[in-house]
C-alpha cells in the first residue's frame, strides 16, 4: 500500500492520506483497500468477507453549539438516541446537516472516520465492536479501512457503552448465495 510520501499518488485522495497519516501517528495498523459501493449492507459485508456487524459506521453527532461527537455503530445496529444522550450526559443530540458534518470533520457523509478528522471529537463506541477486526470508512468514497477495534478505541480514548439498538430485518450472517 502506498505510504503517502509521493506527490504523484493517483490511487488515494488527500482525505485517505490524512487517514493513513493519523493511523501512523497513533500507532495503528490499518489496511486501506478499494471498496466499490454496494447496494446493501449485506452486499458490502459479503464483498469484504465479513459480517454486517463488522462494518462500523462512524456517525458525527451534533451537540450544543459547536460541540460534536463521533458515534461508532456496528452495521447491523442503529444509534439509540436515549442511550447515547445518557452516556454523553446531554439532553439533546442530533445528526447535523451534511455541510456541518463536512465542516466538523473534513469528510463527506459516508466517508467519515475519526482517523484524520480535522478535529478530534470525543468518540463513543458501541460495546459490541470490542474484540473485533472492523471495517469502516477511509475518508473517501469507494475505499474502506480495516483496523483492530480495541486498538482504535484505545488510541482515541473512546467511551465504550451500549449506545445502539438492533435494526429489524438485518441478518448477522452473510448471504448463502
**What pLDDT digit, counting tens, does each position of 128-176 carry?**
999 999 999 999 999 999 999 999 999 999 999 999 999 875 444 433 3
Q: Which grid coordinates belong to 168? A: 429489524
- Delineate the domains of the chain, giving CATH numbers in brackets: 14-166 (3.90.960.10)
- The structure's pTM equals 0.86
**Burial of residue 146 (number of CB atoms within 10 Å: 0-12, 13-18, 19+):** middle
Residues with Cβ within 8 Å of 115's Cβ and at least 6 positions away in sequence, in order, are 18, 19, 22, 23, 26, 28, 30, 139, 145, 152
User: What confidence score (pLDDT) does residue 53 get?
Assistant: 96
In this prediction, the residues of the chain whose per-residue pLDDT falls under 70 are 1-13, 169-177
Taking Cα atoms as reference points, which of 87, 52, 54 lies closest to residue 71? 87
Q: What is the pLDDT of residue 7?
A: 40
The pLDDT, as a whole number, for residue 14 is: 84
Amino acid at each position: 500500500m502506498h505510504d503517502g510520501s509521493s506527490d504523484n499518488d493517483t490511487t488515494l485522495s488527500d482525505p485517505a492520506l490524512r487517514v493513513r497519516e493519523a493511523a501512523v501517528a497513533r500507532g495503528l495498523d490499518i489496511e486501506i483497500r478499494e471498496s466499490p459501493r454496494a447496494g446493501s449492507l449485506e452486499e458490502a459485508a459479503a464483498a469484504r468477507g465479513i459480517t454486517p456487524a463488522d462494518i462500523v459506521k462512524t456517525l458525527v453527532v451534533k451537540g450544543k453549539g459547536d460541540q460534536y461527537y463521533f458515534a461508532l455503530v456496528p452495521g447491523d445496529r442503529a444509534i439509540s438516541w436515549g442511550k447515547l444522550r445518557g452516556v454523553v450526559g446531554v439532553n439533546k443530540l442530533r445528526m447535523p446537516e451534511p455541510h456541518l458534518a463536512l465542516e466538523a470533520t473534513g469528510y463527506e457523509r459516508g466517508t467519515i472516520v475519526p482517523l484524520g478528522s480535522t478535529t478530534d471529537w470525543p468518540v463513543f463506541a458501541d460495546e459490541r465492536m470490542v474484540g473485533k477486526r472492523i471495517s469502516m470508512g477511509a475518508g473517501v468514497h469507494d475505499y474502506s479501512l480495516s483496523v483492530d477495534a480495541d486498538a482504535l478505541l484505545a488510541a482515541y480514548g473512546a467511551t465504550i457503552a451500549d449506545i445502539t439498538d438492533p435494526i429489524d430485518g438485518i441478518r448477522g450472517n452473510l448471504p448463502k448465495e
